[in-house]
A = this chain, B = another copy of it.
Amino acid sequence: MVIPGAHAALERRPDLEFVLYGNEQQLFPLLNAHPKLKARSEIVHTEHAVAMDDKPSTALRSGRWKSSMWMSIQAVRDKKADVAISAGNTGALMAMARFCLKTMPGIDRPAMAAIWPTIRGESIVLDVGATIGADARHLVNCAILGEAMARALFEVDRPSIALLNIGVEEVKGLEEVREAGQILKTLPLDIDYYGFVEGDDIGKGLVDVVVTEGFSGNIALKTAEGTAKQIAGYLRDAMRRTLLSKIGYLFARGAFETLKDKLDPRKANGAVLLGLNGVVIKSHGGTDAIGFATAIEMGCDMVENGLLEKISTDLSSFDHFAIQEATEMKQSAGAV
């Protein structure tokens, strides 16, 4: 799906150029079927690929320098490419991107941000699985990263940010989340902090950015995907059950097409690795050409709208020492 996906993206953005890392014996026949893409592509042959079930540490150790994944990230580091896009092993991609590109000043670790379709449009949700566990400072960093991404993607000046929690009252939920809320509220950050939201609020589009820890973020994202599929299945079954419903389907076909489009997970495919000195996009492994093209275009948007510059500006204007100090003060107060 990578080659037809690149082809589909090129159809919509004819100025794109590709560097394709992989086995040329596999790539050539595919490229020959897409002559337009071939004309705008350079192939860098490699026989090493990271397997889907490789542990990130194994992927980093064994033959790293030769794998297609590493080489594509390296191309971003060396300014040979603006963005690296992979549908491969998520853990390995995270580990390699972090090792190769390094995190930006003030950021401990990268986060993975997804686009979440809402009734009002789209929101950004992060972290959706880059790291398990987060303290208050990690969550505040995620808020800053998500804020910059929202400015790059949605072109709003002051995106609104919420923390995902259970219970919206200030006294409820995870301690780290409550603490991050206190920091976002009291520190002189120029952030439009909304407060807490719950799982059922994400799809309402109450805010531009929903911040959460990676384990629960991944579960939220996948649960939403699963529920959407489940309901789409119910709907399909219901419309096929009787003659009347089949006739109804024919009349309302246009409406169903619109709905199908809205529920199409390929239209929201692609998560951005944030906090690194370079743009890396993770595509769903199970997507097709249309989904992969979406991931490519997401990468282009990020680059064209100056994601890295926006994050840099945010990071330099935020006072990290103040955040760190506030966190440490709270922690020692908690210890007493």
Contacts and interface: CB of A to CB of B under 8 A. Distances in A.
A contact residues, range: 35 or more
A216 interface: yes
Interface stretch (A245-253, A267-275, A310-318): A245-253
Interface stretch (A74-82, A103-111, A227-235): A227-235
B242 A255 contact: yes
Contacts of A248: 247-253, 255
Main secondary structure of the interface of A (DSSP, over half): helix
B252 A239 contact: yes
Contacts of A219: 164, 166, 198-199, 212, 216, 219-220
A226 interface: yes
Contacts of A259: 234-235, 238
A28 to B, nearest CB: 33
A256 interface: yes
A207 to B, nearest CB: 14
Contacts of A230: 118-119, 203-204
Contacts of A238: 252, 255-256, 258-259
30 contacts: A55-B171, A91-B167, A91-B172, A129-B166, A132-B166, A132-B173, A164-B219, A198-B218, A199-B223, A199-B225, A200-B222, A200-B223, A201-B226, A202-B226, A204-B226, A216-B216, A220-B220, A220-B223, A223-B224, A223-B227, A224-B227, A235-B235, A238-B259, A244-B252, A245-B251, A245-B252, A247-B248, A247-B251, A248-B250, A248-B255
